């Protein structure tokens, strides 16, 4: 085929190759090395954030999405106390998936849980018609819609108003480490930080821009921890509302402890009365697919959002 | 002149898009060289198109180092046909040490041995690897007029090989045929994927860009299809992909994958040169805005 031999496609025009190459060589800018270094420094420069810093604590428990799992939440409060947590933090997504959202609220208050606002709370408080989870596939959105509709109908106006007053982030000191607690990512409330699509260089820059020694997040449903080359930590606390798509019925949360040097991070498996949860979900007429997940430990819905590595580890 | 000033005082000027975060880095790793010459290709790729040349491992490595310093989140490889590049698998292996990668391919070079090697690369990395395979019809009658005679069967074979290697491809379909984007159209593609052994079918639908070969096939943009600062949505232009991506070719850094055949869309020699705003002074930008396009999966 001789279609383009010796010629470049400049838009719809065919021009001699060297004419295109000369034009592109002259286009754009070529900064000096010093200017380039300054551009990179500016790009990664810390962003302003007036959030007050809480603590310092020697040991804290941090948990992700509750998804109306009041059994899981009760078990967590007991377990965290037994393990000597001085403070307990919730990263939001109190509703969705499970039954009877109003059972979660008193547990949070009695447990003195310091909560931040997830996309669920933001949506419910503002009267949004969907959860704004950030799913892109209609198959995921179908089940997300069922979850959200149920929770929205069951939550009292008072609970929704309380959700609306929650801060979107918290800064917490554990020992000498300042941690940033957010729901999805520091950039967006519904951004997914999965392990396989949150590479080390990206995380290092994120922590530079958001001035913290550690980042705590949830939203994905899957827990993971990365200690970065800089010594800083990124922890997705997972969720306590549904299992971690690994065939086990327990759920997960994070325990962080100050050490002489740095901070210890432990992802803690949490056993709770999953059969009681399943019975209550059936009583409330929630989808059988959701109940199957609670009983089997495998996700049956909202799978399309999973990146390749996480999907390869799924049963469905 | 600031972007805000431009919108208010010069509503007919082209809008400017700031780079918010460099999340997505594209590589025109095969240049504009392809083993096909699809009639809708907006960069007019073909076996003889050397407007952009292939990139070798050393070149890609240099840009990966720059990208890591800027905290790039994910990498995409396109062309032309990336698997025509003899360094492609080595490039993927290196990229997967610093982030997740996606390859856009026409599927014709996905023999079982290559698929097995790609699976090994995927299994060996903590980051995700995805393959996007292009198809433009549910049968030879609808696909081959666009992609070339005999391509339909060969593409399906490539997808079958990926499925057998337990790699789960994303099928990418452009809306050359309007029905492709309808629920019924999508279901036909899902059924096709399942028939090839893909039990978790994934699909990405893209609009056509009326530039390059596509302009010749179905017509170029009209004069009214142009973005103006006054068109700005309430929350600005951050929904456009050029607020979070850049494209590297053998000749430097372009603003996005769509405009690589426009020298005016080249932003600089390196990534650090290319962090400034871009003026959306090209008709193709209209499609991005009107259809909510994102080239990433």
ipTM of the complex as predicted: 0.96
A275: CB partners within 8 A, 6+ apart: A295
Cα distance between the two ends of chain A: 46
Distance from CA of A162 to the nearest CA of B (A): 27
CATH 3.40.50.150 fits B21-291, yes or no: no
Q: Residue B289's pLDDT is what?
A: 86
Q: Which residue of B has its CA nearest to A313?
A: B123
Interface test with B, best of A1, A24, A206, A312 (most B CBs within 10 A): A24
Which residue reads 């074979």 in tokens?
B157
3-class secondary structure for chain A? CCCCCCEEEECCEEEEHHHHHHHHHHCCECCCHHHHHHHHHHHCCCCCCCCCEEEEECEEEEECCCCCCHHHHHHHHHHHHHCCCCEEEECCCCCCCCCCHHHHHHHHHHCCCEECCCHHHHHHHHCCCCCCCCCCCHHHHHHHHHHHHHHHHHCCHHHHHHHHCCCCCEEEEECCEEEEECCCCCCCCCCCCCHHHCCHHHHHHHHHHCCCCEEEECCCCCCEEEECCCCCEEEECCCCCCCCCCCCCCEEEEEEEECCCCEEEEEEEECCCHHHHHHHHHHCCCCHHHHHHHHHCCCCCCCCCCCHHHHHCCCC
C-alpha triplet A84, A90, A93: angle, nearest 5°: 150
Average pLDDT, chain B: 93
Q: Quickly state the pLDDT bin for B217 (edges 50, 70, 90).
A: confident
Which residue reads 């190759």 in tokens?
A17
Q: Quickly state the pLDDT bin for B214 (edges 50, 70, 90).
A: confident
Q: Do A24 and B70 touch (CB under 8 A)?
A: no
Residues of B in contact with A9 (CB under 8 A): 32, 43-44, 49, 51, 212, 261
Q: Residue B29's pLDDT is what?
A: 98
Which residue reads 């240099």 in tokens?
B62
Q: Which residue of A has its CA nearest to B213?
A: A12
B225: CB partners within 8 A, 6+ apart: B283, B286, B287
pLDDT tens digit string along A198-226? 999 999 999 999 999 999 999 999 999 99
DSSP per-residue string spanning B175-215: TTSGGGGSHHHHHHHHHHHHHTT-SS-EEEEE---SSTHHH
Q: Residue B97's pLDDT is what?
A: 98
Least confident stretch, A66-70, A170-174, B78-82, B172-176: B172-176
Q: Which of A24, A202, A304 is nearest residue B251 as measured by Cβ atoms?
A: A24
Residues of A in contact with B68 (CB under 8 A): 201
Query: Which helix or strand (DSSP H or E) is residue B18 part of?
Result: none
Q: Residue B4's pLDDT is what?
A: 54
**Across B240-252, average pLDDT:** 97
Average pLDDT, chain A: 96
pLDDT at B208 over 90: no
Q: Do B70 and A205 touch (CB under 8 A)?
A: yes
**B34-51 burial: b if 16+ Cβ within 10 Å, else e:** bbbbbbbbbbbbbbbbbb
pLDDT at B181 over 70: yes
Q: Which of B98, B168, B269 is nearest residue A30 as measured by Cβ atoms?
A: B269
Q: Do B100 and A17 touch (CB under 8 A)?
A: no
A contact residues 158-187, partner B, Cβ 8 Å cutoff: 187
Q: Quickly state the pLDDT bin for B6 (edges 50, 70, 90).
A: low
Q: Which of A27, A40, A198 is nearest residue B264 as measured by Cβ atoms?
A: A27
Q: Rounded CA gap, B255 and B251, in Å?
A: 13
In 3-state terms, what secondary structure has residue B256? coil
In 3-state terms, what secondary structure has residue B139? coil
Q: Rounded CA gap, B41 and B81, in Å?
A: 12
Q: Do A9 and B44 touch (CB under 8 A)?
A: yes
Q: Do B267 and A28 touch (CB under 8 A)?
A: yes
pLDDT at B174 over 90: yes
Q: Residue B3's pLDDT is what?
A: 52
Q: Residue A177's pLDDT is what?
A: 97
Average pLDDT for runs of 10 along chain A of length 316: 84 94 97 97 96 98 98 98 98 97 98 98 95 89 93 97 98 97 97 98 98 98 98 98 98 97 95 98 97 98 95 96
**Across B70-93, average pLDDT:** 98
Q: Residue A90's pLDDT is what?
A: 98
A contact residues 285-314, partner B, Cβ 8 Å cutoff: 303-304, 307-312
Q: Rounded CA gap, A104 and A73, in Å?
A: 8
**Closest among B10, B126, B188 to A195, alpha carbons compared:** B126
pLDDT at B78 over 90: yes
Q: Do A9 and B43 touch (CB under 8 A)?
A: yes
Dig out the tokens for B138 from the structure. 């549910």
In contact, A56 and A258? CB cutoff 8 Å = yes
Distance from CA of A85 to the nearest CA of B (A): 31
Helix H segments across B39-150? Answer: 57-69, 88-95, 112-123, 140-147
Interface test with B, best of A11, A301, A314 (most B CBs within 10 A): A11
Residues of A in contact with B47 (CB under 8 A): 1
Most confident of B93-97, B176-180, B227-231, B276-280: B93-97
| Spans of all domains in chain B | 21-291
Dig out the tokens for B121 from the structure. 């690369």
Dig out the tokens for B224 from the structure. 């009214």
Q: Rounded CA gap, A23 and B264, in Å?
A: 8
Residues of A in contact with B266 (CB under 8 A): 24, 27-28
| Spans of all domains in chain A | 56-312
Q: Residue B233's pLDDT is what?
A: 86
Dig out the tokens for A71 from the structure. 């059994």
**Closest among A184, A141, A190, A188 to A304, alpha carbons compared:** A141
pLDDT tens digit string along A89-110? 999 999 999 999 999 999 999 9
Q: Do A196 and B127 touch (CB under 8 A)?
A: yes
Q: Which of B74, B220, B272 is nearest residue A39 as measured by Cβ atoms?
A: B272
What are the CB-based long-range contacts (under 8 Å, 24+) for A144-151?
A: A144/A96, A144/A302, A146/A286, A146/A287, A147/A67, A147/A95, A147/A96, A147/A97, A147/A290, A148/A95, A148/A96, A148/A120, A148/A123, A150/A284, A150/A286, A151/A68, A151/A95, A151/A96, A151/A101, A151/A120, A151/A124
Q: Rounded CA gap, A221 and A189, in Å?
A: 14
Q: Quickly state the pLDDT bin for B7 (edges 50, 70, 90).
A: low
In contact, B240 and B284? CB cutoff 8 Å = no
In contact, B110 and B80? CB cutoff 8 Å = no
Dig out the tokens for B79 from the structure. 């062309």
Return the number of CB contacts < 8 Å for A and B.
149
Interface test with A, best of B127, B209, B221 (most A CBs within 10 A): B127
- A149 in B contact zone (CB under 8 Å): no
pLDDT at B129 over 80: yes
CATH number for domain A56-312, candidates 3.60.21.10, 3.40.50.410, 1.10.3720.10, 3.40.50.300: 3.60.21.10
Q: Which residue of B has its CA nearest to A23?
A: B263
Q: Do A199 and B127 touch (CB under 8 A)?
A: yes
Interface test with B, best of A136, A202, A306, A313 (most B CBs within 10 A): A202
- Residue A315, Cβ neighbours under 10 Å: how many? 12
**Closest among A11, A34, A31, A35 to A23, alpha carbons compared:** A11
pLDDT at B12 over 90: no
Q: Quickly state the pLDDT bin for B5 (edges 50, 70, 90).
A: low
Q: Rounded CA gap, A120 and A162, in Å?
A: 13
Q: Which residue of A has its CA nearest to B202?
A: A304
């Amino acid at each position: 085929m001789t279609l383009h031999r010796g010629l470049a496609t400049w838009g719809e025009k065919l021009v001699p190759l060297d004419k295109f190459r000369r034009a592109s060589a002259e286009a754009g800018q070529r900064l000096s090395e010093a200017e380039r270094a300054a551009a990179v420094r500016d790009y990664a420069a810390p962003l302003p954030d007036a959030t007050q810093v809480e603590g310092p604590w020697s040991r804290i428990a941090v948990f992700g999405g509750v998804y109306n799992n009041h059994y899981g939440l009760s078990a967590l409060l007991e377990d965290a106390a037994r393990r000597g947590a001085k403070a307990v933090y919730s990263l939001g997504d109190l509703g969705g998936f499970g039954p009877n959202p109003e059972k979660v609220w008193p547990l949070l208050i009695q447990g003195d849980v310091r909560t931040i606002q997830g996309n669920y709370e933001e949506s419910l408080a503002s009267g949004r018609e969907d959860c704004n989870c950030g799913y892109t596939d209609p198959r995921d959105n179908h089940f997300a819609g069922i979850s959200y509709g149920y929770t929205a109908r069951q939550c009292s106006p008072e609970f929704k108003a309380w959700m609306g007053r929650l801060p979107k982030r918290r800064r917490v000191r554990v020992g000498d480490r300042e941690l940033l607690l957010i729901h999805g990512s520091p950039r967006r409330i519904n951004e997914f930080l999965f392990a396989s699509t949150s590479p080390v260089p990206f995380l290092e820059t994120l922590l530079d821009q958001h001035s913290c020694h550690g980042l705590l997040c949830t939203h994905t449903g899957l827990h993971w921890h990365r200690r970065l080359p800089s010594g800083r930590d990124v922890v997705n606390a997972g969720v306590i509302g549904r299992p971690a798509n690994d065939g086990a019925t327990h759920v997960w949360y994070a325990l962080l402890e100050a050490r002489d040097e740095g901070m210890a991070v432990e992802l803690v498996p949490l056993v709770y009365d999953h059969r009681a949860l399943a019975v209550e979900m059936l009583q409330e007429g929630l989808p059988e697919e959701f109940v199957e997940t609670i009983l089997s430990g495998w996700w049956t819905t909202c799978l399309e959002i999973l990146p390749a590595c996480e999907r390869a580890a799924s049963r469905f | 002149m600031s972007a805000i000033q431009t919108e208010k005082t010069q509503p007919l000027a082209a809008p400017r898009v700031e780079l918010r975060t460099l999340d997505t880095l594209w590589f025109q790793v095969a240049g504009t060289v392809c083993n096909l010459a699809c009639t809708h290709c907006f960069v007019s790729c073909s076996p003889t198109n050397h407007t952009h040349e292939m990139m070798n491992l050393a070149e890609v490595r240099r840009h990966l180092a720059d990208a890591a310093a800027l905290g790039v989140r994910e990498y995409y490889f396109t062309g032309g046909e990336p698997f025509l590049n003899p360094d492609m698998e080595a490039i993927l292996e290196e990229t997967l040490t610093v982030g997740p990668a996606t390859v856009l391919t026409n599927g014709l070079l996905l023999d079982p041995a290559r698929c097995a090697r790609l699976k090994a690369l995927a299994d060996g990395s903590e980051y995700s690897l995805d393959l996007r395979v292009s198809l433009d019809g549910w049968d030879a009658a609808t696909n081959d007029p666009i992609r070339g005679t005999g391509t339909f069967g060969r593409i399906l074979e490539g997808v079958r090989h990926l499925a057998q290697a337990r790699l789960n491809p994303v099928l990418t379909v452009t809306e050359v045929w309007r029905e492709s984007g309808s629920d019924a159209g999508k279901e036909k593609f899902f059924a096709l994927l399942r028939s090839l052994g893909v039990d978790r079918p994934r699909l990405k639908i893209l609009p056509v860009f009326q530039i390059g070969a596509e302009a010749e096939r179905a017509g170029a943009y009209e004069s009214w299809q142009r973005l103006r600062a006054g068109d700005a949505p309430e929350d600005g232009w951050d929904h456009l992909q050029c607020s979070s991506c850049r494209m590297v070719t053998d000749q430097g850094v372009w603003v996005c994958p769509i405009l690589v055949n426009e020298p005016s869309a080249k932003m600089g020699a390196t990534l650090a040169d290319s962090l400034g705003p871009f003026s959306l002074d090209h008709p193709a930008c209209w499609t991005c805005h009107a259809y909510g396009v994102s080239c990433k999966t």
